[in-house]
Amino acid sequence: MTLRIGIDTGGTFTDLVGFDDDGEGFVYGKQASTPDMPARAVANVLNEVDAGKQSVASIVVGTTVATNAVLQRHGARVLYVTTAGFEDVPFIGRLDKEELYNLHWRKPAPLVTRRDCFGIAERVAHDGSILVPLTEAALDDLVAFVAARRNDGADLAVAVCLLFSYLAPQHEERIRERLAREFPGLSVSVSHQVSPTWREYERASTTVGDAYIKPVLRSYVAGVQATLRELAIGAPASMLKSNGGHLRIDAADTQPSQFLISGLAGGIVAARHYAHMAEVDHAFSLDMGGTSADIGTIQGGQERYLSEFQVEFGIPISVTCVDVATLGAGGGSIAWIDKGGLLQVGPRSAGAEPGPMCYGKGGQEPTTTDANLVLGRLNPDYFLGGQIVLDAKASLAALAEIGRALQGILAPATGNPSRIPPSPGSTGEGAGG
């Protein structure tokens, strides 16, 4: 048996599917994700299928680690370096508003604080000519700034985004080289490599996002590589990118922003494959996990792409990615009562830890999984292949506190996807998760 393995690290579960090149079928594995150390779940699911004892031809890994780092705000502390006078670009942003008529709406905070922004004396013109040369004295000031922040003891990463650097990157290169000499091991992202495009705000946001998730992704990649070494799996390993392609895993941490919706892209790629097998030109893809439901479309036999997306409102990321709509309607989505007394489901999720009330791991709020269990739609003795025995009494107690009809919790989760408009022509449907 020679396996080609695909692994998806989600916020709640980590899944594995292995296809046998010799035609002997598939192998499957599923383990609870380990948010504190996501790579551990990869090891667990590989051990479940005895991958270390098999002949493995290739491994492709998709993950939501980068996405969750941004949404849950547990990335690195970013130091933002830009042309003097433009330190406020990440905070000014664009004059758009997510909720136009909501007077209480507040724009989400950027991934960097104002005190961690540094304006360096240099200037490149719109045609790439040098207006203000970058001096050693200016670099000395930057080094002093970074050194002072490192003394705070935080896990730092630096994002460098100078005006028009995509035309003349030499100043950014000098900054990176100087920081590498002064602070070995410091994560540095430079905009002319991360997002070499015009529009200052989007380029700055993408570079900051790249720096923000770089230490998180680096830790995940190192953990996966260590697992493969321990299991003596020497097959080529790669990570799924946001555009549906993949990159060697040993190079993945050099381009973190390319993996911000890695896990979501896998569902669309699979939908295209199965639509082709079924000879269907137009199809929907529904990928429902523990945290969210992701909906995409296949039109004319192809997935759709975007040149920019917002991982959260006000945080644009200028990388090519598949076009998906994400709803906070997963199996772990939490049911709650808003200030107006209305029942809401999501976007908060119980995740894998502590998980829904029925897991018995300390969860305190009811979820869609709890509602489905009480309604008899789940087998309490064979959840996750029998690895988790579900506690229906705990679910019922939590739902009683909500004081609403049980069907009311499921209605928002199952009704939200219906808002997605159909694509032209006859369509097929594909579901995963």
Q: Which residues, in sequence order, are CB contacts of 322 under 8 Å at separation 6+?
A: 242, 243, 244, 261, 264, 265, 268, 269, 296, 303, 304, 305, 306
**Per-residue pLDDT band at 425 (split at 50, 70, 90):** low
The pLDDT value given to residue 195: 93
Find the farthest-apart pair of alpha carbons in the chain and give their distance in angstroms, rounded: 71
User: Count of residues for the chain?
Assistant: 433
Phi, psi of 349 (to 5 degrees): -130, 145
Mean pLDDT score, 237-242:
94
Mean pLDDT score, 339-344:
77
Share of the chain above pLDDT 70, in %: 92
Instruction: From residue 295, give the alpha-carbon distance in Å to each of 81, 94, 234, 327, 368.
Output: 37, 27, 35, 8, 18
Question: Comparing 13-27, 210-224, 269-283, 417-431, which segment has the lowest mean pLDDT?
Answer: 417-431
The pLDDT value given to residue 401: 78
Q: Which residues, in sequence order, are CB contacts of 242 under 8 Å at separation 6+?
A: 258, 259, 260, 261, 262, 264, 265, 319, 320, 321, 322
Asked whether the predicted pLDDT for residue 222 surpasses 90, the reply is yes
Asked whether the predicted pLDDT for residue 418 surpasses 60, the reply is no
Q: Cα–Cα distance between 373 and 383 in angstroms, integer?
A: 10
The pLDDT value given to residue 21: 78
Q: Give the pLDDT confidence of 363-403 residue by residue, as tens digits.
A: 888 999 999 999 999 998 888 778 788 999 999 888 887 76
The pLDDT value given to residue 122: 98
Summary mean pLDDT of the chain: 88
Q: Give the pLDDT confidence of 155-200 residue by residue, as tens digits.
A: 899 999 999 999 999 999 999 999 999 999 999 999 999 999 989 9
Mean pLDDT score, 403-429:
54
| Other CB atoms within 10 Å distance of the CB of residue 198 | 12
Mean pLDDT score, 89-97:
89
Structure tokens at 127: 């045609």
Q: Can the peptide bond before residue 316 be classed as cis, meaning omega within 30 degrees of 0?
A: no
Instruction: From residue 37, give the alpha-carbon distance in Å to each of 124, 159, 235, 255.
Output: 42, 25, 23, 21
Structure tokens at 41: 């779940």
Structural contact between residues 231 and 52, judged by C-beta atoms closer than 8 angstroms: yes
CATH architecture, domain defined by 2-69+217-262: 2-Layer Sandwich (3.30)
Asked whether the predicted pLDDT for residue 239 surpasses 50, the reply is yes
Q: Can the peptide bond before residue 354 be classed as cis, meaning omega within 30 degrees of 0?
A: yes
Asked whether the predicted pLDDT for residue 329 surpasses 80, the reply is no
Q: Say if strands 130-132 and 123-124 run parallel, antiparallel, or are unpaired.
A: antiparallel
- CA proximity to 322, closest of 277, 282, 266: 266
Q: Which residues, in sequence order, are CB contacts of 180 under 8 Å at separation 6+?
A: 186, 188
Domain residue spans of the chain:
2-69+217-262, 75-212, 333-415
Asked whether the predicted pLDDT for residue 80 surpasses 90, the reply is yes
Residue with the larger pLDDT of the pair 306 and 415 = 306
Structure tokens at 284: 């929907």
The pLDDT value given to residue 405: 44
Asked whether the predicted pLDDT for residue 220 surpasses 90, the reply is yes
The pLDDT value given to residue 248: 94
Q: Determine the topology of domain 75-212 in CATH.
A: Rossmann fold (3.40.50)
Residue with the larger pLDDT of the pair 241 and 424 = 241
Asked whether the predicted pLDDT for residue 431 surpasses 60, the reply is no
Structural contact between residues 204 and 82, judged by C-beta atoms closer than 8 angstroms: yes
Asked whether the predicted pLDDT for residue 406 surpasses 50, the reply is no
Sign of CA dihedral 286, 414, 330, 27: negative
Structural contact between residues 374 and 396, judged by C-beta atoms closer than 8 angstroms: yes
